[in-house]
Structure 1
Amino acid sequence: MGVLKGICVSKKRGTKKMEVAEAMLVENYGIEGDAHAGNWHRQVSLLSLEKIEAFREKGAQVSFGDFGENLIIDGFDFRALPVGTIFTIGDAVLKMTQIGKECHTHCQIYQTMGDCIMPREGVFATVLKGGKIRKGDTVTMIPVSSDAPLTAAVITLSDKGAKGEREDKSGPVIVKMLKKVGYEIVESNILPDEQRLLEKELIRLADQRQVNLILTTGGTGFSERDRTPEATMAVATRLAPGIAEAIRAGSMKITKRAMLSRETSVIRNKTLIVNLPGSPKAVAESLELVIDQLDHGIKILLGRAGECARK
């Protein structure tokens, strides 16, 4: 159990957040009057009081809101909690959606101290249920349920698609198939065929959003711009080759050209990443070959299931 020690808001992006005594949390939006609220996954930012106090011990003169945080809470080490954790403050309910963030421009605190804790210690949440919150309110944590839906993200690799010159038809096919078997889709994005950009996106989704499954489509052929397997291997912490092997083996029964597909499948920490081909037809055929087995593998990865052999 924790205590809400501070509430901070800013009316304009890029300006310092100022402390207020109370605020209204609005469902699927954020804090009423805060510039960072909106229909996205980072509606409210949270920071542990202990992290601020530890930073002050280094000699920094910082006030609540200086790191860009909305809520300062005593009693939880947010960085150690998994995405999906629920917090209640009075009638309001928050769901943690991301850990840390990329710092695009160094703030004044970083320039003064050479460090800023928000990018690595801060977390973000969406508002599941609105309500008024006040300094001193009790904050209750509800751990992630063992039967919570698995989460997934879809990335389409296409230079023309990223420019808006071609409609993405493969990504929606994956989303539809995953939803049908119970996955919660947290993001579906289109990127150009740039290896470093894809690496960065895979790391963000796996580490900050802690997505259980990432499926990519496109960029697995012989073209010089096809770099999806290289990007996927670059971020892997372990290999899971059987999934890609099963896709190729099954696809060979449909077309001999399946041998030219270079898709791979790997694990990054607690996230499974699988490459799929680029065409909608091939995507559907490939995913159909393995979709029934993916959830069991992911649950083993998460410690929700045992590695029992089929009798």
Structure 2
Amino acid sequence: MSAIARIGIVTVSDRASAGVYEDEGGPAIRAYFERVLTSPWEAVPCLVPDDRERIARTLIDLSDREGCCLVVTTGGTGPAPRDVTPEATQDVIEKPMPGFGELMRQVSLAKVPTAILSRQTAGIRGRTLIVNLPGRPRAIGECLDAVMPAIPYCIDLIEGPYLETDPALIQAFRPKK
């Protein structure tokens, strides 16, 4: 398949969306995919405030209208009152994929005990995999390293474009045919 994969990159932050500080999470995700993906892809970046309805509308737009096979969010996964990214994700997905959040928390707990406070989740909407990541660039890389081996095959299973990774960096799992 030679289709160019579209990947939504959503930063959820009141302050970054208001211009109070620079978004670091979205660029960290983009840099990660630039490093590990070898198949053609394009980023569809979005920066939204911590507002459940706005996040949900953005996820729907990226999935249904923009045709993204993968949407990755950063931010809004903690326990604070304004942290509503997992709830917005649950509002729009059709199939929860709890293993993603479980693995990301497990990997993060090896680094920092407060990782138990993180509420990352994932799920499928149509032909789109949506994955919530934490907000810190270092944690983004650690979490993506953990789940990226499963993402290309998940995209295959939901009939998305074929994603290839640099095997020296990420060994994507696909069953032997």
Please report the TM-score for the alignment, with normalisation by the length of structure 2.
Answer: 0.86
* Inter-CA distance 308–179: structure 2 relative to 1 (3 Å threshold): closer
Letter in 1 for 2:86: P
Is residue 263 from structure 1 mapped to residue 95 from structure 2 by the alignment? no
Cα deviation for residue 149 of structure 1 reads 3.6
Post-superposition Cα deviations, 1:206-232, rounded to whole Å, max 9, x if no partner, equal 001110000000000010000000000
Distance 1:202 1:229 in 2: 12
Is residue 159 from structure 1 mapped to residue 28 from structure 2 by the alignment? no
Task: Give the corresponding residue for 1:114.
Answer: none
Secondary structure of 2:123 counterpart: strand
Task: Give the corresponding residue for 2:111.
Answer: 254
Cα deviation for residue 186 of structure 1 reads 3.4
Correspondence list, 1:274-285, <5 A: 274-285=131-142
Distance 1:201 1:304 in 2: 21
Letter in 1 for 2:147: V
In 1, are the aligned partners of 2:69 and 2:161 still within 8 Å (CA)? Answer: no
Is residue 148 from structure 1 mapped to residue 3 from structure 2 by the alignment? yes
* Aligned match for 1:233, one of 86, 90, 101: 90
In 2, are the aligned partners of 1:179 and 1:185 still within 8 Å (CA)? Answer: no
Task: Give the corresponding residue for 2:23.
Answer: 168
Distance 1:239 1:199 in 2: 15
Q: Provide the identity percentage.
A: 35
CA RMSD of aligned residues (A): 2.0
Secondary structure of 1:302 counterpart: coil
Post-superposition Cα deviations, 1:163-215, rounded to whole Å, max 9, x if no partner, equal 11111111101001112213623311111100000100110110011100000
The number of residue pairs the alignment matches comes to 165
Post-superposition Cα deviations, 1:43-101, rounded to whole Å, max 9, x if no partner, equal xxxxxxxxxxxxxxxxxxxxxxxxxxxxxxxxxxxxxxxxxxxxxxxxxxxxxxxxxxx
Distance 1:304 1:286 in 2: 22
Task: Give the corresponding residue for 1:136.
Answer: none
Cα deviation for residue 239 of structure 1 reads 1.1
- Computing the radius of gyration from Cα coordinates, the structure with the larger value is 1
Where in structure 1 do 4 or more consecutive aligned residues deviate above 6 Å?
none
Letter in 1 for 2:93: A
Secondary structure of 1:221 counterpart: coil
Q: Which runs of 5+ in 2 are unaligned?
A: 163-172
In 1, are the aligned partners of 2:76 and 2:135 still within 8 Å (CA)? Answer: yes
Post-superposition Cα deviations, 1:106-142, rounded to whole Å, max 9, x if no partner, equal xxxxxxxxxxxxxxxxxxxxxxxxxxxxxxxxxxxxx
Cα deviation for residue 285 of structure 1 reads 1.2
Task: Give the corresponding residue for 1:244.
Answer: 101
In 2, are the aligned partners of 1:153 and 1:187 still within 8 Å (CA)? Answer: yes
* Aligned match for 1:189, one of 38, 43, 46: 46
When you count strand as a share of all residues, which structure comes out higher? 1
